[in-house]
């Protein structure tokens, strides 16, 4: 973290978990477990149907609500899809874009990710853009070039004035839901590299203001070490965000 230049953001990605009633209960428990939120921003990325309940339950608590996906068109014949405008009107502030599960199971590509980023920014949402290599890519030594390509295509056509509203989440696919976390040094290497890529595209002043998260088996036990790295500005947390004490411990680690 480097809180002089950029905000630390701890975001929970609930994935396809929790009904509206369960969402309410989890948020109540979380409110009771978080001591004080001073330095970091908390975001809860909940299933679409949980959004109204989550917004209501977080009133008076310093947490924003995010969605986990959206369509890039404003409206039209896209059965089953949700637009950025629909989310913004509800009061949603963030949206995860290009999570590896969306890329793997729902055929999202760097090009659709780019379109979604533009649509989210146009609607006033802050995109949390996920990038990350597979185990095979890591073992073949192409991690950095692969990440560079993902970042460059994702940011294609984004105005310099809008880049600071984007959060990039580095999520190595081999660390997601596996209990296998990247070491703090591995996370720092790639998060620093992402910042280098942004610097190359937009210059140093913008690059140092962008929040870059780590995600992949982040938990109460490893959060402090990961967040101690200068280029790791927060976390995108799956499993551990579903348990209030664990998520609270991560938030508290970011508040040191
Ligand atoms: P886990 O924290 O369960 O590994 O999930 C990470 C993730 O995919 C967050 O988006």
pLDDT digits (tens, 9 = 90+) for 195-224: 999 999 999 999 999 999 999 999 999 999
What are the residues whose beta carbons fall under 8 Å from the beta carbon of 199, sequence distance 6 or more? 206, 207
The stretch 108-128 carries a mean pLDDT of: 98
Dump pLDDT digits (tens) for 219-245.
999 999 999 999 999 999 999 999 999
Q: Which residues are catalytic?
A: 99, 171
Which ligand 1 atom is nearest residue 240's CA?
2
Among 68, 217, 242, which residue has the most ligand 1 atoms within 8 Å of its CB, making it the best to mutate?
217
User: Given a cut of 90, is residue 132 above it in pLDDT?
Assistant: yes
Q: How far is the CA of 216 from the centre of ligand 1 (A)?
A: 5
Ligand 1 pocket check: which of 11, 12, 15, 130 to mutate, most ligand atoms within 8 Å of Cβ? Answer: 15
If you write DSSP's letter for every residue of 18-63 in order, what string do you get?
--HHHHHHHHHHHHHH----SSEEEEEE--GGGHHHHHHHTTTSSE
- pLDDT at res. 146: 98
Q: Does pLDDT of 256 surpass 80?
A: no
How many whole angstroms from 76 Cα to the centroid of ligand 1? 32
pTM, two decimals, is 0.97
Identify the CA nearest to 156 among candidates 203, 114, 197, 209.
114
The percentage of the chain sitting over the pLDDT mark of 90, rounded to a whole number, equals 90
Find the mean pLDDT for residues 26-49.
91
In the prediction, which pLDDT does 98 show? 98
Which stretch of DSSP H or E encloses residue 245? helix 244-254
> What is the rounded distance in angstroms from the CA atom of residue 30 to the CA atom of residue 154?
33
Q: State how far the Cα of 44 lies from the Cα of 94, in Å rounded to an integer.
A: 9
Contact 12, 26 (CB under 8 A): no
Burial zone of 153 (CB within 10 Å; 0-12 exposed, 13-18 middle, 19+ buried): middle
Q: Alpha-carbon Rg of the chain, whole angstroms?
A: 17
pLDDT surpassing 90 at residue 60:
no
Distance 255 CA to ligand 1 centre (A): 21
Q: Which two tokens stand for residue 169?
A: 């989440």
Counting from 1 in the atom list of ligand 1, the atom nearest the Cα of 45 is 10
- Numbers of helices and strands, H then E, in the chain: 12, 8
Which are the contacts of 84, defined by CB distance < 8 A and separation ≥ 6? 70, 71, 72, 74, 95, 116, 119, 120, 122, 123, 125
pLDDT for the residue numbered 180? 86
């Amino acid at each position: 973290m480097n809180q002089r230049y950029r905000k630390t953001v701890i975001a929970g990605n609930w994935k396809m978990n929790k009904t509206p009633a369960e969402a309410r209960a989890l948020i109540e428990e979380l409110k009771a477990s978080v001591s004080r939120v001073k330095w970091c921003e908390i975001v809860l990325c909940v299933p679409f149907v949980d959004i109204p309940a989550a917004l209501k339950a977080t009133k008076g608590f310093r947490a924003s609500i995010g969605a986990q996906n959206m369509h890039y068109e404003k409206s039209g014949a896209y059965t089953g899809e949700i637009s950025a405008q629909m989310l913004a009107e509800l009061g949603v502030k963030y949206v995860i874009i290009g999570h590896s599960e969306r890329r793997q199971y729902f055929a999202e590509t760097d090009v659709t990710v780019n379109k979604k980023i533009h649509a989210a920014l146009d609607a006033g949402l802050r995109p949390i853009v996920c990038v990350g290599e597979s185990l095979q890519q890591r073992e073949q030594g192409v991690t950095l070039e692969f990440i560079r390509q993902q970042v460059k295509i994702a940011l294609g056509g984004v105005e310099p004035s809008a880049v600071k509203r984007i959060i990039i989440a580095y999520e190595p696919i081999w660390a997601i839901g596996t209990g296998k976390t990247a070491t703090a040094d591995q996370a720092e290497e790639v998060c620093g590299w992402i910042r280098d890529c942004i610097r190359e595209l937009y210059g140093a002043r913008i690059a140092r203001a962008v929040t870059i998260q780590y995600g992949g088996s982040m938990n109460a036990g490893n959060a402090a070490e990961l967040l101690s790295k200068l280029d790791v500005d927060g976390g995108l947390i799956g499993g551990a965000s579903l348990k209030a004490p664990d998520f609270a411990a991560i938030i508290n680690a970011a508040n040191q």
